[in-house]
Amino acid sequence: MDKIEIVGGVSLCGEISISGAKNAALPVMAASILGPGENIISNIPRLRDISTMGKLLAHLGMGYHQENGEAILQSEHISSIEAPYDFVKTMRASVLVLGPLLARMGEAKVSLPGGCAIGARPINLHIMGLKKMGAEITLCDGYIHAKAGKLKGATIYFDIPTVTGTENLMMAASIAEGVTVLENAACEPEIIDLANALISMGAEIQGAGTGIVKIKGVNNLRPLNYRIIPDRIETGTFLTAAAITGGNVEITNCDPSLAEAFINKLGETGTVITHGPDKISVKGPEQLKAEDIKTMPYPGFPTDMQAQFMALMTVAEGTSLITENIFENRFMHVAELRRMGADIRVEGSTATVKGVKSLKGAPVMATDLRASASLVIAGLAASGTTTIDRVYHIDRGYQNIEEKLKPLGAKIRRVT
């Protein structure tokens, strides 16, 4: 199993380019089910989750290959309506094929995702929405089996704004009969990106990116030719790596407007940040200052940046309160950061981080995608060597993280 080894203590310096957003690319790939023909999606990151989605679509009978940053998906023929457990257990986002398969084929069978490292993560709201649209849904042998003649538009209220739930229903409603209104919808930029992709296929969608999304069903959609937005979480991760090492880095091919909550918070730690429309310059301070955060749905502070921000706060002056409001078990990185000398105490959904003078390298274990990113950040700042085990978690969501960090001076290598 691969490990990543980092010898910390180098200030990062130079330029780094951001890849396409994983969490935008995955639903847009699933949307290609809705546009029979050749779908071309560009700015696709080279990640394990993307190839898992490609393989799942191929399992459904679609053609899939990825070259030069493009995913090419042939969706004239769909020969299976089943997303088996092997895919769903590897990647929960496999559930994104449920809405489009049901809408196009009138039937879908998708393995029910189990709990995951960061929380129980039920999908009851996806199911509730599809039922409101007329689907008959049974749960049998660990599978969700959904059937519908033609889905019908409905008004659907989400008790909690759900990102993939909003995406699944937006896709299903695009070719349903009549108008669907999603209330208390999630507002993440990845939802706007999916809506823009669907609109480019001929869908009629208003309000994506607000709490109320209206979708007027159309008979058919055309295939996609669409470019994915830059990854705001990869952007935030590299901003944090630059800040913790007191570095001076220019981040290119990004969209600063998608990361405002994070950029503002980072600015309050003493990090100097300036940005243009598609690049950000960041200069880490001599001494970081502690700041509190609370994770919230977009446009609040993203849960996907909580672990990385906590790594930053381990060496800040003062005490930082970090409250996780989205997932009930997203503090798995705490025990690993403590092994590097961090002073963190967790009570309920809040972690109290008392800044220490410095971290010390140690062997640590990646437990989920963003937790592993926080260990890379801590390792870059720590004295001595940090070895991160189970790096397959990082490869799910960061394209060649070590190859991107090396040109900035980081002493980082993959050990196979």
Minimum CB–partner distance for residue 239 and ligand EPU (Å): 17
358 binds ligand EPU (CB under 6 A): no
Q: Whose Cβ is closer to ligand EPU: residue 27's or residue 217's?
A: 27
Residues 1 and 3: their CA atoms lie apart, in Å, by 7
Residues in 186-205 that interact with ligand EPU by CB under 6 A: 186, 190
Residues in 285-304 that interact with ligand EPU by CB under 6 A: 303-304
Stretch that binds ligand EPU, among 34-42, 116-124, 148-156, 203-211 (CB under 6 A): 116-124
326 binds ligand EPU (CB under 6 A): yes
26 binds ligand EPU (CB under 6 A): yes
SS (H, E, C) the chain: CCEEEEECCCCCEEEEECCECHHHHHHHHHHHHHCCCEEEEECCCCCHHHHHHHHHHHHCCCEEEEECCEEEEECCCCCCCEECHHHHHHCHHHHHHHHHHHHHHCEEEEECCCCECCECCCCHHHHHHHHHCCCEEEEECCEEEEECCCCECCEEECCCCCHHHHHHHHHHHHCCECEEEEECCCCCHHHHHHHHHHHHCCCEEECECECEEEEECCCCCCCCEEECCECHHHHHHHHHHHHHCCCEEEEECCCHHHHHHHHHHHHHCCCEEEECCCCEEEECCCCCECCCEEECCCCCECHHHHHHHHHHHCCCECEEEEECCCCCCCCHHHHHHHHCCCEEEEECCEEEEECCCCCECCEEECCCHHHHHHHHHHHHHCECEEEEECCHHHHHHCCCHHHHHHHHCCEEEEEC
Q: Whose Cβ is closer to ligand EPU: residue 50's or residue 163's?
A: 163
Stretch that binds ligand EPU, among 65-73, 117-125, 308-316, 338-346 (CB under 6 A): 117-125
139 binds ligand EPU (CB under 6 A): no
Considering only 59, 126, 232, 404, the residue that binds ligand EPU (CB under 6 A) is 126
310 binds ligand EPU (CB under 6 A): no
397 binds ligand EPU (CB under 6 A): yes
End-to-end Cα spacing for the chain: 6
Considering only 16, 18, 19, 23, the residue that binds ligand EPU (CB under 6 A) is 23
Mark 84-113 with x for binding to ligand EPU (rule: CB under 6 A) and - for no binding: ---------x--------------------
Our answer to whether residue 116 is catalytic in this structure is yes
Stretch that binds ligand EPU, among 11-19, 37-45, 114-122, 267-275 (CB under 6 A): 114-122
How many chain residues interact with ligand EPU (CB under 6 A)?
A: 24
Minimum CB–partner distance for residue 93 and ligand EPU (Å): 4
Minimum CB–partner distance for residue 309 and ligand EPU (Å): 14
Residues 265 and 293: their CA atoms lie apart, in Å, by 8
Stretch that binds ligand EPU, among 11-19, 64-72, 104-112, 119-127 (CB under 6 A): 119-127
Task: Please identify which of the residues 13, 116, 187, 254 carries the catalytic annotation.
Answer: 116
Mark 141-170 with x for binding to ligand EPU (rule: CB under 6 A) and - for no binding: -------------------x-xxxx-----
Active site residues: 116
Using CB under 6 A, list all residues that contact ligand EPU.
23, 26, 93, 119, 121-126, 160, 162-165, 186, 190, 303-304, 326-327, 369-370, 397
